Amino acid sequence: MADSTRELVFQMLTAGDDGRVCRDIPEASCNEEARNFTTHVMALSTSKIADGLVDPKLVLSWLLATLGAPTLLIGLLVPVREAGSLLPQLFTAGALRRLAQRKWAWAAGSIVQGLSALAIAMAALTLEGARAGMAIIAALGVLAVARSVCSVTYKDVLGKTVSKSRRGSATGAATTVGAAAVLLFGALLASGLVARMDLVSAGLIGAGVFWIAGAAIFMQLKEAPGATEGGANPFRAAMDNLGLLGEDAQLRRFIAVRALLISTALAPPFMVALAARSSGSDGAGGFGGLGLLIIASAGAGLLSSYVWGRLADKSSRKVLILTSGAATLALCAALGLNAAGLLGAVWALPLVLFALMIAYQGVRLGRSTHLVDMATQDTRAAYTALSNTIIGSLLLLGGVFSLVAEYAGEATVLGLLAIMSGLALPVALGLREVQPQE
């Protein structure tokens, strides 16, 4: 991209701020901010698009159901992806923070994610049944670990290369581009114009290309060498602060709410598998159903994230209460539709998934805002490390639901997850308001 074009994009996306004032970044980075800003937008956009094309909750769960993989493996998709992205950070964050230039670590993680996506595509094209499921789970595990490297390093790089008043604009623009691309992918899936497996496989290959291209773009950042101190091991910090659980009842209650609401992340693959079984097809409501599911999920994020964010700034406690109730209703609706023999209808699962994903977006925003606002500057790092350690471990244990689904059926799992989200509501009621109330 030419420098003049970069400058134009930068001015368009940052219009309305207080000029070209740089805040808390090195002078060298200030001189390169327009270039770095557009580089962030382009690289992060490729990552957001790739994420949507390899969504384990929808795309990969549909793929495994289509390939005839057992429910045991389908149920492992989200635990492997989520725990694999979270737990490695507890052991690698200290070492990664000691790198003077962290863009190289992000680029390496993006390349590995791309190669893993290509491996998933290869498995989908050449394998079937349990063998396909195991190969895809293994590749997803590698992808998740690589993602954890990107997660650890990205905020540091962003903080060194883009001024404080413009970071949200960069990530927000990339998120919008990613959501638009995923919605387009879902619309193409729903149209039925392209053979079903061909389009999904092309999406997986495209995700690999996007991640590798994103790495090449990110390497072009002008990142000044930064401080390498402060690289403490988060896992050790979490273990050192276990005593906080005994001292802070509100922290215990918050972690309990967060643990119960992992039901919103674990449920979609079981919903897809149950709908596929109900319809007797190779995917939720047939081929068009996958496209509608992707549209429902992306649309829920676009429509609800800003609203949840605004509400969380006023009362993150109320967000967690509302999302607990919404998730419970959505899961109960899925069970009711299944009992009535309607969950396999092309409209049914997208409808309940849309409601569940609205709740999921609220959970993500509510929990992050509540943790930041309930902690003090002195306890925030400890609370975060401790919470992530516990939730990451519970996500790994979430694989037990796969065993339950294998022997008792997906409906039983959805019933248990509905109970979890329902129990989160009275626990969330006991949280204190951590934002100033008028």
DSSP helix/strand/coil, 285: coil
- Asked if 261 and 367 touch (Cβ cutoff 8 Å), the reply is yes
Instruction: Report how far residue 350's alpha carbon sits from residue 218's, in angstroms, rounded to the nearest whole number.
Output: 35
DSSP helix/strand/coil, 435: coil
Residues 311, 435 share a domain: yes
Residues 268, 207 share a domain: no
The domain containing residue 349 runs over which residues? 233-438
DSSP letter string over 165-234? Answer: GGHHHHHHHHHHHHHHHHHHHHHHHHHT-S-HHHHHHHHHHHHHHHHHHHHHHHTT--PPP--------H
Q: Is residue 24 part of a domain?
A: no
Instruction: Report how far residue 83's alpha carbon sits from residue 88's, in angstroms, rounded to the nearest whole number.
Output: 8
- Of 217 and 314, the structure prediction assigns the larger pLDDT to 217
Lookup: tokens for 195: 């053979």
Residues 349, 211 share a domain: no
CA distances from 292 to 185, 197, 206, 348, 384 (A): 10, 16, 20, 10, 36
Lookup: tokens for 224: 């000044």
Residues 407, 275 share a domain: yes
Residues 324, 292 share a domain: yes
Quick one: pLDDT at residue 226?
A: 63
Indicate if the pLDDT at residue 186 is higher than 80.
yes
Instruction: Report how far residue 204's alpha carbon sits from residue 139's, in angstroms, rounded to the nearest whole number.
Output: 12
The domain boundary, picked from 167, 189, 222, lies at 222
Residues 218, 292 share a domain: no
Instruction: Report how far residue 263's alpha carbon sits from residue 248's, in angstroms, rounded to the nearest whole number.
Output: 25
- Asked if 182 and 299 touch (Cβ cutoff 8 Å), the reply is no
Quick one: pLDDT at residue 285?
A: 44
Instruction: Report how far residue 172's alpha carbon sits from residue 45's, in angstroms, rounded to the nearest whole number.
Output: 10
- Asked if 295 and 327 touch (Cβ cutoff 8 Å), the reply is no
Instruction: Report how far residue 309's alpha carbon sits from residue 192's, in angstroms, rounded to the nearest whole number.
Output: 35
Q: Is residue 261 part of a domain?
A: yes
Average of pLDDT values for 404-428? 95
pLDDT tens-digit profile of 20-46? 455 555 555 566 667 788 888 899 899
CA atoms within 13 A on the CB side of 376: 3
The domain boundary, picked from 175, 198, 222, lies at 222
Residues 56, 193 share a domain: yes
For residues 21, 24, 26, 27, the Cα torsion angle rounded to the nearest 10 degrees is 20
Average of pLDDT values for 189-210? 92
DSSP helix/strand/coil, 345: coil
Q: Is residue 437 part of a domain?
A: yes
Indicate the number of domains in the chain.
Answer: 2
Q: Is residue 345 part of a domain?
A: yes
- Asked if 312 and 319 touch (Cβ cutoff 8 Å), the reply is yes
Instruction: Report how far residue 359's alpha carbon sits from residue 355's, in angstroms, rounded to the nearest whole number.
Output: 7
Lookup: tokens for 328: 């419970």
CA atoms within 13 A on the CB side of 129: 2
Residues 183, 247 share a domain: no
Residues 249, 191 share a domain: no
DSSP letter string over 54-69? Answer: T-IIIIIHHHHHHTT-
The CATH number covering residue 104 comes to 1.20.1250.20
Burial of residue 368 (CB within 10 Å: 0-12, 13-18, 19+) is middle
**Percent of the residues in the chain that have a pLDDT greater than 70, as a whole number:** 83
106-110, 176-180, 266-270: the lowest-pLDDT one: 176-180
pLDDT tens-digit profile of 244-264? 788 888 999 999 999 999 999
Q: Is residue 247 part of a domain?
A: yes
Residue in 215, 295, 253, 281 with CA at minimum distance from that of residue 39: 215
pLDDT tens-digit profile of 338-372? 999 888 888 899 999 999 999 998 898 888 888 87
Indicate if the pLDDT at residue 431 is higher than 60.
yes
Residues 245, 329 share a domain: yes
Instruction: Report how far residue 148's alpha carbon sits from residue 196's, in angstroms, rounded to the nearest whole number.
Output: 31
Average of pLDDT values for 234-239? 65
Beta-carbon contacts of residue 92 (< 8 Å; ≥ 6 apart): 148, 149, 152
Q: Is residue 207 part of a domain?
A: yes
Residues 184, 256 share a domain: no
Which phi and psi angles does 21 have, rounded to 5°? -70, 130
Q: Is residue 15 part of a domain?
A: no
Residues 301, 326 share a domain: yes
Q: What single DSSP character describes residue 164?
A: G
The domain boundary, picked from 187, 222, 257, lies at 222
Q: Is residue 27 part of a domain?
A: no
- Of 314 and 175, the structure prediction assigns the larger pLDDT to 314
Q: What single DSSP character describes residue 433?
A: P
132-141, 280-289, 377-386: the lowest-pLDDT one: 280-289
Instruction: Report how far residue 165's alpha carbon sits from residue 16's, in angstroms, rounded to the nearest whole number.
Output: 11
- Please state the pTM of the whole predicted model: 0.83
